[in-house]
Amino acid sequence: MRNPRAFLRPLAVGAPAPVADVPFRPSRMIHFFDPSNEKMRSKVPDIAAKVDIILGNLEDAIKTENKEAARLGLVEVARATDFGDTQLWVRVNSLDSPWVLDDLITLVTEIGEKLDVVMVPKVEGAQDIHYVDRLLAQLEARAGLTRPILVHAILETAEGVTNVEEIAAASPRMQGISLGPADLAASRRMKTTRVGGGHPGYLVRQDPTGDDLTTGRTTYQQDLWHYTIARMVDACAGNDILPFYGPFGDIKDVVACEDQFRNAFLLGCVGAWSLHPVQIDIAKRVFSPDPADVAHAKEVVEAMGDGSGAVMINGKMEDDASCKQCIVMLDLAKALAERDPELAAAYDL
């Protein structure tokens, strides 16, 4: 770990100074596309206009023979597209792969001024972030970039979960962390083959009422990801960076996808990955606060004046703590309203 005074110094001569605070920009969905796929590439300008973050994926889901085409395809589409307020991210290959060095060198050199965040998969500890941190500083200096590229880690190994707090604190470049449930399940040897979501076998069962153990006992499916998401949210919130839920692989089950995204939203995540166009609107709906919650938050904050004391609103006690909860809701609503005129009208702030 660098000493506190050195933490905000550039890691290479000529590199831009690290940012002290991670800028909060609307981040309800990170939309993945395959830059080696010409058809998907052609949709990027239209999709970029609809999403908060668009991400060119170079890692898993890209065939080995397409790795270079994906890298070059991302350079091509980034150069040709005006992303406006939408963030452009890349998911590079894993740090133990033969491609990641060329991914970073090519992308920072060719399109560094357009790249907001590099997503790093399979991060296991602070050492992985330190490696990327120094390399990015060297490349930024060489490319003459004036703004640092931020880093987002995927939490998808048991070792990464063990070290999540040190990962979140590893560098001022850290923008956030996403839960990667598929690789994490494999790393932990969990016995689910699903990409995110629940499992009907992971449940609790009501007690029996008599000797009959088999009938009349309601079961409740539990959330396989609750512990990890909650831990990730604490690590992120404790370091002023942003937590995200990752992929939901059952594209056709839009209902369960919405449930998974909402659980993450309620626990503190700011967004989730969209793997297919149908998941974009789900994320937009879930990660934008309900106008009724925003109206309630506004009422509480106005009634609380300087934020101290206690008041009764609609039969409920509100005080300093619940006022802070309402401010969280209002701050998010205001940030989203600036980007989305429909939400601005619905929130009426």
Where do contacts with ligand 1VU occur on this chain (CB under 6 A)?
32-34, 39-40, 43, 47, 57, 60-61, 182, 195, 247, 249, 275-277
In whole angstroms, give the CA distance from residue 344 to residue 349.
Answer: 7
DSSP state of 306: T
* Residue 39 contact partner, candidates ligand 1VU, Mg ion, none, CB within 5 to 8 A by sort of partner: ligand 1VU
Tokens 């209002």 sit at which residue? 330
Phi, psi of 130 (to 5 degrees): -60, -40
Q: CA-based angle 65:68:71, to the nearest 5?
A: 135
Our CB check for ligand 1VU shows the closer of 93 and 322 to be 93
CB 87 → Mg ion: shortest distance, Å?
20
- For residue 195, the tally of other CB atoms under 10 A from its CB is 17
* Residue 291 contact partner, candidates Mg ion, ligand 1VU, none, CB within 5 to 8 A by sort of partner: none
Q: Restricting to residues 10-29, which ones interact with Mg ion according to CB under 5 A?
A: none
In whole angstroms, give the CA distance from residue 7 to residue 69.
Answer: 37
* Residue 275 contact partner, candidates Mg ion, ligand 1VU, none, CB within 5 to 8 A by sort of partner: ligand 1VU
Q: Restricting to residues 130-189, which ones interact with Mg ion according to CB under 5 A?
A: 156, 180, 183
Q: What share of the chain is helix, strand, coil (3-state, %, to 5)?
A: 45, 15, 40
Our CB check for ligand 1VU shows the closer of 37 and 239 to be 37
Phi, psi of 291 (to 5 degrees): -55, -30
Whether 156 has a binding-site annotation, put simply, is: yes
CB 134 → ligand 1VU: shortest distance, Å?
26
Q: Are 312 and 304 in contact (CB under 8 A)?
A: no
CB 60 → ligand 1VU: shortest distance, Å?
4
CB 95 → Mg ion: shortest distance, Å?
13
CB 282 → ligand 1VU: shortest distance, Å?
13
| Cβ within 8 Å of residue 282, ≥6 positions away | 254, 257, 258, 261, 274
Our CB check for ligand 1VU shows the closer of 60 and 113 to be 60
- Which two structure tokens, joined as six digits, stand for 255? 């209902």
Our CB check for ligand 1VU shows the closer of 181 and 289 to be 181
Whether 290 has a binding-site annotation, put simply, is: no
In whole angstroms, give the CA distance from residue 188 to residue 336.
Answer: 36
Residues annotated within a binding site for substrate? 91, 156
**Which residues here bind Mg ion, judged by CB under 5 A?**
156, 180, 183
Residues annotated within a binding site? 91, 156, 183
